[in-house]
Chains A and B, each alone.
Chain A
Amino acid sequence: MGLPPKRANADDTFAKLLRMHARVRGGRPAFRHKDFGIWQTWTWSQVYAETCALAQGLGGLGLAKGDRIAVVGANRPRLYWTIAAAQMLGAVPVPVYADSVADELALVLDHAGAKFIAAQDQEQVDKIFSVASRLPNLALVIYDEERGLSDYSEPRLRSFESVIAAGRDALADPSVAAALDARISAGEGKDPSVILYTSGTTGRSKGVVLSGERCIAAARDTVAFDNLTDRDEVLAYLPLAWVGDHYLNYAQGFVAGFCMACPESADTAAEDLREIGPTFHFAPPRVFEALLTRVMIRMEDASAPKRWLFRHFMGVARRWGESIANGRRVPWLARLHYALGEALIYGPLKNVLGFTKIRVAYTAGEAIGADLFAFYRSLGLNLKQLYGQTEAFLYVTAQADGAVRADAVGPPAPHVELRIAEDGEVQFKSPGMFVDYFQEHDKTREALTTDGFVKTGDAGFFEPDGQLKIIDRAKDVGRLANGQLFAPKYIENKLKFFSDIREAVAIGHGRDFVAVMLNIELASVGNWAERNAVGYASYQELAGNPRVAELIAKHVDAVNRALASEPVMAGAQIKRFLILPKELDADDGELTRTQKVRRSFIAERYAPLVEGLYNGAAEAAISAEITYEDGRKGKLVGSSRIVDMPIHPPAKRSAAA
């Protein structure tokens, strides 16, 4: 198996990095947490001392090399320290999604064979003990927040305070302290550093084992790529168990020595962001979208002069902002105009959003709309895209400063080898790539090619400028009956960028043409209906209105035009579509809990509608069972009008292709 290039460095575990920071920049802030309304700060030397005490305490309670310790909770300094403390002992931390229900939690904890669990609060402790009978290895649970737990009589329960205090007492003996120090030095880079469970949207979640030296090698590359230093600061608000948090915040923080600020609670993250003013930031596209919506709503309520100023300068930003950000030639008058906008609009707006100090921001996870992306870029926010995977320890591709575009995810990240397989699947070899799936070696073998590349399961292609474009999951990419490539998600995403369209399901594999079933967005179409005197009483009624169908047909036509301009996709234009009489819902199994459409399930359930799409009918009827929020069942009876769309001739690509 081909190993990624190895570079020599002394600090090949996170425990060693922590010790180094305590020595080199002991007085610099390492962690912050807002508690009782006040930001508390810990320096690197304090964090090192606390983590050592915690490690000693955990060791004293029996946590040994190779044992797994699960970490369940929100972003709290002590939970991060637990990860570092475990790594000092050579034990393997396993962060787990805090919002998973008890059943899911039990599956992961049991699979990981967790001996210790660090839990944030009563909620997590209750969940854990409700499934404790299924966790034969469980020896001890440690909790961070005391509230509600004071009268628990469970013998396997300890507070963080007590564990840290015991460790601190033990470390007062110099020989014990020396032994712990020796244990940190004895840690090896090739040992497992962490196990991150995949989110499981594409099957049961797997435990991805990552080694310290590879994690650190990957983080060193991207820290250099984005010039991160110990003067940087992040708001650590992403789920602990997600590779993004472990990489962007923990690994990069421990490599660069920057400060991680933990928000007070999930609800206060937006306000905490403003107070901290991070310099490096990550958010998934839907967060940026929600922020933009909030700004727009607030602007609607502003006074007329303010609205005018906002519209005027946003126009200026749209025209010139992107060019200025990408360092292209811009007339000096436009620069002056933009500078005025910065003083009056962009600067204050970024301040309100907490983006003032951001040097580098990334988004990833799903496709981002070009307009949305351009909005933030044009404000002067250095927003870029990356493409990554848990198996890669995040980065596979990343856009460099000044070479940013909305519809691709960038060239390979430093030291990453990337290729497109015969069938269009993206495959990579990277410095941070995983060692193994925990206790599932057969799955590991399945995930690797014979020459050691990791199969991502995503289909994509390279653009002429070397940036990778992801179109869909490889297994979802199909062919029309005439052999034309058909990427359902690619088409669905293009449709969903219209605010009137909430969900889209594209069908076409093995068929003669592409057809689409849509959900309209009740809020924005409802607003349109109000302005255009279209009366409706329910979603179903609005969805069935012929004028709404006309409105949506315009959007579908725009998507067809866009598809026609891409040689690979021109043959996969949408020929017929309908608007579903019911909103797709996770409670009915039509969406996953992460709000992704389950195409095969939907195709089966709405089979009469699909049939109508392909047999040329002008209307199709459906009756389906639906589940109300309180669990009662009902019957949905409805029909949908089917609309035919004109197909555009494929456009000739310019010489650039």
Chain B
Amino acid sequence: MNERHTVAVGEPLLSLQHVSLSFGGVKAISDVSFDIRKGEIRAIIGPNGAGKTSMLNVINGFYQPQLGRILYRGEARKRMRPYEAASQGIARTFQNVALFKGMTTLDNIMTGRNLRMNKSLFWQALRHGPALQEEIAHRRVCEEIIDFLEIEHIRKTPVGALPYGLQKRVELGRALAMEPELLLLDEPMAGMNLEEKEDMSRFIVEANRHLGATVALIEHDIGVVMDLSTRIVVLEYGRKIADDVPEVVKADQKVIDAYLGVAH
């Protein structure tokens, strides 16, 4: 890992400056600027089609904005591919779970360690000597994550056979296995019942506080967002309409009109 610039807690880890993204004639994001500070939980909310997922895709390098600048750890970012973003410590989960359905929970989480494996494919295939030592070390990290997420009982279950709520948890596990500096969560609680949401909230808070991951999350459950996040950015039709702490955003008339409806 190249941790050349360590960022102090509270300093901007990532900042987006006047970012615009369009697909042909459709403007997904227009002139949006905000930053994510080290150590915070940053929520991105907005109505459907506001450009939230596009925003995450820009952050992890899946989309290249046509205009604007992205600074990561204080450095302007060049064009980059998602795996480069990953190797710089940006991990994510997806709105529609994107796991390897035929593989077990453990194997899925192990794939999150892929970027941290140093031994060559040759040694790994032999599963011998230093490669075996390395695998044991990685397995240990994965087992700690399994313990952390309380999914011991599905360790050996193919994820395709798991209920949705658990698949979401496994996906979070895979992202955490990367030991990310910045964790992007795209609707981590969609389709969950109250209890599952409470569990997931707890994991996000603990990942943030104890594992030191800075979190950026998209979520539609406003109660969860208000409880969890340090600051909230509100998008509508690709524009930023508000950016502040939850108490202020909640009372913002523009946000209420565009998204919240009656004040919560």
Give the CA-CA distance A36 to B206 in the complex, in Å.
19
A to B CB contacts below 8 Å, 12 in the list? A36-B146, A37-B106, A37-B146, A37-B155, A147-B147, A147-B148, A148-B210, A150-B210, A264-B153, A267-B152, A271-B153, A271-B156
Contact B148 A265 (CB under 8 A): no
The answer to whether A148 touches B152 (Cβ under 8 A) is: no
Beta-carbon contact of A36 and B153 below 8 Å? no
A150 partner residues in chain B, CB cutoff 8 A: 210
The answer, yes or no, to whether B198 is at the interface (CB within 8 Å) is no
Using A36-B146, A37-B139, A268-B152 as known contacts, list a sample of 4 further A-B pairs with CB atoms less than 8 Å apart, ordered by residue number in A. A36-B140, A37-B155, A148-B206, A264-B152
In the complex, whether B75 has a CB less than 8 A from a CB of chain A is no
Q: Does B143 contact A (CB under 8 A)?
A: yes
Q: B199 contacts the other chain (Cβ, under 8 Å)?
A: no
Q: Give the chain B neighbours of A268 by CB distance below 8 A.
A: 152-153
Query: Chain B: interface secondary structure?
Result: helix
| Closest chain B residue to A148, Cβ basis | B206
Alpha-carbon distance between A148 and B206 when the two chains are bound, in angstroms: 8
**Cβ contact of A265, chosen from B139, B143, B150, cutoff 8 A:** B150
Flag if A37 contacts B153 (CB, 8 Å): no
Smallest Cβ-Cβ distance to B154: which chain A residue: A267
Chain B 60-102 against A: per-residue CB contact (8 Å), 1 yes, 0 no?
Answer: 0000000000000000000000000000000000000000000
Q: How far is the CA of A267 from the CA of B105 in the complex (A)?
A: 15
Q: How large is the interface on B (under 10, 10 to 19, 20 to 34, 35 or more residues)?
A: 10 to 19
In the assembled complex, the Cα of A147 lies from the Cα of B148 at a distance in Å of: 8
B206 with A265: CB separation less than 8 A: no
Contact of B144 with A by CB under 8 A: yes
- CB within 8 A of A36: which of B147, B150, B156, B210? B147
Q: Are B153 and A267 in contact (CB under 8 A)?
A: yes
Max chain B C-beta neighbours (<10 A), residue from A37, A148, A268 = A37
- B positions within 8 Å CB-CB of A: 106, 139-140, 143-144, 146-148, 150, 152-153, 155-156, 206, 210
With the chains together, A268 CA to B146 CA distance in Å?
A: 13
Cα A265 to Cα B152 with chains together (Å): 7
CB pair B143 A36 closer than 8 Å: yes
Minimum CB–CB distance for A347 against chain B, Å? 22
* Cβ distance B4 to chain A, nearest Cβ, rounded Å: 29
Contact code string A467-495 (vs B, CB < 8 Å = 1, else 0): 00000000000000000000000000000
**Interface mask (A258-298 → B, CB under 8 Å = 1, otherwise 0):** 00000011011001000000000000000000000000000
Q: How far is the CB of A537 from chain B (nearest CB, A)?
A: 22
CB distance from B245 to the nearest CB of A (A): 23
Give per-residue flags for A128-164: 1 if the beta carbon is below 8 A from chain B beta carbons, else 0: 0000000000000000000110100000000000000
Minimum C-beta distance from A37 to chain B (A):
5
Q: Can you list the 7 inter-chain pairs with the closest CB atoms, starting with the nearest?
A: A267-B153, A36-B143, A268-B153, A264-B152, A37-B143, A268-B152, A265-B152
Assess the A36–B144 pair: CB atoms within 8 A. Answer: yes
B153 near A265 with CB under 8 A, answer: yes
Give residues 234-272 of A contacting B (CB, 8 Å).
264-265, 267-268, 271
| Shortest CB distance A116–B (Å) | 27
Rounded to whole angstroms, the CA-CA distance of A264 and B146 in the bound complex is: 12
